[in-house]
């Protein structure tokens, strides 16, 4: 890992209508539209879905790192996230992210370790640590 601080650069370009095109360091461009809830076309990535996806991805990547360091054998992790956008005190913001993680492990020998690592992954996720939102984690561990 590189020394801190890390820097990430993104630029977006837009015309008066149509998608906003986001690009960054060595990543493909991404078309972004407002969600249907804000009068957009729907069916496209939006700032709201991108943030929710960032929460899910950060959780999974955090879990992968600590599972490897802890030598936990696992076969699959699915993380479903619901971002809740609300208007407390008339300020539109994400108030909560509900994470549901389904982890498959090959044996129940490390069931308690698997659960501890899922909880720890939520605690160390830098995306949720950077947000002012409640995070609620529920888990299912399946032995396959």
Which CATH superfamily includes the segment(s) 47-143? K homology (KH) domain (3.30.300.20)
Task: Check: CB of residue 83 under 8 Å from CB of residue 28.
Answer: no
Pairing of strands 20-24, 27-32: antiparallel
Q: What is the pTM (predicted TM-score) of this model?
A: 0.94
pLDDT tens, position by position, 40-88: 999 999 999 999 999 999 999 999 999 999 999 999 999 999 999 999 9
- The structural domains of the chain, with segments of one domain joined by +, span 47-143
């Amino acid at each position: 890992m590189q020394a801190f601080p890390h820097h990430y650069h993104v630029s977006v370009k837009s015309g008066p209508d149509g998608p906003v095109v986001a690009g960054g360091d060595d990543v493909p461009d991404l078309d972004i539209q407002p969600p249907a809830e804000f009068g957009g076309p729907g069916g496209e990535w939006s700032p709201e879905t991108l943030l929710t996806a960032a929460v899910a991805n950060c959780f999974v990547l955090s879990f992968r790192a600590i599972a490897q360091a802890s030598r936990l054998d696992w076969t699959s992790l699915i993380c479903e996230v619901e971002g809740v956008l609300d208007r407390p005190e008339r300020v539109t913001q994400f108030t909560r992210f509900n994470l549901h993680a389904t982890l498959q492990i090959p044996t129940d020998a490390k069931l308690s370790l698997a659960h501890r690592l899922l909880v720890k992954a939520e605690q160390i996720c830098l995306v949720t640590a950077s947000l002012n939102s409640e995070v609620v984690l529920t888990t299912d561990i399946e032995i396959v």
